[in-house]
Chains A and B, each alone.
Chain A
């Protein structure tokens, strides 16, 4: 089954209560943050806390991600040293601007992996792109490392650099978002959207989820457990979508056994992209738990 990354829950790395409970909200991934949510004076303390939590507590099946500080900040190297030992699934690098940023982090990770006796490539990487230069370099960043499982857009810094601010319909982010999804798809990795910080605006949040799903994103970072359910709901295929996808797969099977070339389902000609989309819908339905494995076909 394809790994779902619909939601990545932010957990401030210096908050003991939240670090302890991070996984109970059933997001697809949890991201322990050592960067922006932790003040300069508390960087060491947060690092100890996340380190001990990851090495002690059982987060079950949920993907663990640590957002480290950038290397330039002076905290990034120690973060990598500690976190490779702590062995989260993924290390997320903030403020990535060019492929070289990834190379540097990758070599530091590799060094620690060797020290720890892990096989090289155990720790995966995710890059957050938060500047105009980063957006323009999206493809080279996305293809910079085999460890890279996804790229994410961080919108707040980016719109400030653009000399604008975030709007309700997100027109200012359209280019960056499209560019990111394109780069991610070209590289064959995940594309993840930025946070939505106005917790009280449920309607605006739903609108944004629908928008980024339509743009092609795999999921979104969330800052409060309350935001998890709406994202999962919108990213889960509807019954109609699943039924249609099943028909497409059935149709293709029958066509193959009849050795006939072209088929149509509900009046629409079914070609390769439609088959691929149907396969993806069923895959997503299975991973989201709305379709049992092995029930892709009505007749099975």
Chain B
């Protein structure tokens, strides 16, 4: 028996319950609660820290730790460069960066890797000079490429342990309720960041827009957040919305979009209540506009759409052709506006979207997905990460997640880009296995995976130009000629992790 702080007698132990801890004063075990709380004349209770440098000290960031970033600001991201510059100046080294993806805005990492500040990268994609340098052997440890669903799985299962997450948010209150819809750097959904906020050891929000408490609705919430830093600007609006998608007027994209919409309509999957996702490519986004015509003519409505949400999707939603939008990433300004305004345009996190090991992810309920490809081989395996020269230039994204989850996965790609053939004997890097791909649509013909004979028959009957994928390969080869094989060195520069955590392929160093 002991006496607690208030003089009550408390037993030390009770059988079937265990040891008991006596009360030790209201503030003793809750260090985050401040005594002056609620007094409006005192400075408000908050988590604000003056500078990035100070916040890094507060988080106890040490050599060799893992830090994370999200890519919702796409090519307009200022957060990663800002934070990494301070970290470099402070002399912290050997960090692992676990980013949801890396874009053109993240080229500063080349220097940070060269100087030893950064040791490892884990990401969905890499672009620009950084990607080229990595293909040429920049990092000692191979980069790990994962899908969006795979990343959520890694974080939730602890395969990736994030020590500090640095999350740019377009609006936050002083206590850490944040969303992506409001502010000059609005990016829409914060779906990828939400997983980091939930599982990282320390969570730092970086914002250029502090709003009154409580910031509702919130995507990242106060109970997850350790510190908040206010800076002048976290993103360039131009880069935020132009990084991934554009409304195309390119005749070839429009032709592809028309063909894809005809494939959808004649596939057997075009029925009232269907669900759909489109990728971020020009043709893929434009497909939605063509599909609308058929939806009007045949009085068919979609119950929901998933994924990267774009302006054309929003238009259909607002005009009553798509019931609900589930949004893990908002591609353009229209989608950003809509997620803030529309009740049934709902933000979802990356785990809800595509984590293969949780109790149910959205891709599993998807009927139709339209995806792009850099290369596809005669076994329908798809490459969206390395270019025809073997150099990394893309992202895994939700490609493999949605391909397996959906009932009908359609790849849309020009058969020929410049002098590069898209259909090959063997893709440079497999991101998505051919056993999860159903149809390939090109400007010079359509191919159906032999395992979907019934779809092939339907498309043929509707008069669409259906060929075998081998025929498409030969067609391309006849036009561009046979290319010389790309020579790789033995050294592995990248590991491609399939969504379940197994390694589906490796990326090797290019030989110059």
Looking at A21, A57, A58, which has the most chain B CB atoms within 10 Å of its CB? A21
Known A225-B255, A226-B254, A289-B463; contact A21-B443, beta-carbon cutoff 8 A: yes
User: Is A25 in contact with chain B by the CB < 8 A criterion?
Assistant: yes
Known A24-B444, A289-B463; contact A225-B251, beta-carbon cutoff 8 A: yes
Q: Is the CB of B252 within 8 A of A24?
A: yes
Q: Is the CB of A225 within 8 A of B254?
A: yes
Known A24-B443, A24-B444, A289-B463; contact A226-B251, beta-carbon cutoff 8 A: yes
User: Is A241 in contact with chain B by the CB < 8 A criterion?
Assistant: no
Quick one: which of A1-38 are within 8 Å of B by CB?
Answer: 20-21, 24-25
User: Is A276 in contact with chain B by the CB < 8 A criterion?
Assistant: no
User: Is B258 in contact with chain A by the CB < 8 A criterion?
Assistant: yes
User: Is B478 in contact with chain A by the CB < 8 A criterion?
Assistant: yes
Q: Which residue of B lies closest to A9 (CB)?
A: B251
Whole-angstrom CA separation of A25 from B252 in the bound complex:
8
Quick one: which of B245-282 are within 8 Å of A by CB?
Answer: 251-252, 254-255, 258
Contacts of A20 in B (CB 8 A): 479
Q: Is the CB of B479 within 8 A of A25?
A: no
Q: Is the CB of B463 within 8 A of A24?
A: no
Contacts of B252 in A (CB 8 A): 21, 24
User: Is A229 in contact with chain B by the CB < 8 A criterion?
Assistant: yes
* A 167-181 binary contact with B (CB < 8 Å = 1; else 0): 000000000000000
Whole-angstrom CA separation of A226 from B286 in the bound complex:
13
Q: Is the CB of B251 within 8 A of A224?
A: yes
Known A21-B252, A24-B444, A25-B251; contact A229-B258, beta-carbon cutoff 8 A: yes
Whole-angstrom CA separation of A229 from B479 in the bound complex:
26
Looking at B251, B258, B443, B444, which has the most chain A CB atoms within 10 Å of its CB? B251
Quick one: which of A225-283 are within 8 Å of B by CB?
Answer: 225-226, 229
Q: Which of A25, A57, A58, A289 contacts B255 (CB 8 A)?
A: A25
Q: Which residue of B lies closest to A229 (CB)?
A: B258
Q: Is the CB of B478 within 8 A of A24?
A: no
Contacts of A25 in B (CB 8 A): 251, 255
Contacts of A224 in B (CB 8 A): 251
Size bracket, chain A contacts: 10 to 19
Q: Is the CB of B255 within 8 A of A24?
A: yes
B257 CB to closest chain A CB, in angstroms? 11
Whole-angstrom CA separation of A21 from B258 in the bound complex:
16
Contacts of A289 in B (CB 8 A): 463
Q: Which residue of A lies closest to B249 (CB)?
A: A226
B459 CB to closest chain A CB, in angstroms? 15
Looking at A57, A225, A229, which has the most chain B CB atoms within 10 Å of its CB? A225
* A 205-239 binary contact with B (CB < 8 Å = 1; else 0): 00000000000000000001110010000000000
A9 CB to closest chain B CB, in angstroms? 10
Q: Which of A21, A58, A225, A229 contacts B478 (CB 8 A)?
A: A58
B298 CB to closest chain A CB, in angstroms? 15
Looking at A20, A24, A224, which has the most chain B CB atoms within 10 Å of its CB? A24
Contacts of A24 in B (CB 8 A): 252, 255, 443-444
Contacts of B463 in A (CB 8 A): 289
Whole-angstrom CA separation of A225 from B255 in the bound complex:
8
Whole-angstrom CA separation of A226 from B258 in the bound complex:
11
Contacts of B258 in A (CB 8 A): 229
Q: Which residue of A lies closest to B251 (CB)?
A: A225
Whole-angstrom CA separation of A20 from B479 in the bound complex:
9
Whole-angstrom CA separation of A229 from B255 in the bound complex:
10
Contacts of A57 in B (CB 8 A): 479
Quick one: which of A100-114 are within 8 Å of B by CB?
Answer: none
Contacts of B479 in A (CB 8 A): 20, 57
Contacts of B255 in A (CB 8 A): 24-25, 225
Quick one: which of B452-490 are within 8 Å of A by CB?
Answer: 463, 478-479
Contacts of B443 in A (CB 8 A): 21, 24
* A 22-63 binary contact with B (CB < 8 Å = 1; else 0): 001100000000000000000000000000000001100000
> Which positions in A face B, CB cutoff 8 Å?
20-21, 24-25, 57-58, 224-226, 229, 289
For this complex, 19 residue pairs linking A to B, each with C-beta atoms less than 8 Å apart, are: A20-B479, A21-B252, A21-B443, A24-B252, A24-B255, A24-B443, A24-B444, A25-B251, A25-B255, A57-B479, A58-B478, A224-B251, A225-B251, A225-B254, A225-B255, A226-B251, A226-B254, A229-B258, A289-B463
> Which positions in B face A, CB cutoff 8 Å?
251-252, 254-255, 258, 443-444, 463, 478-479
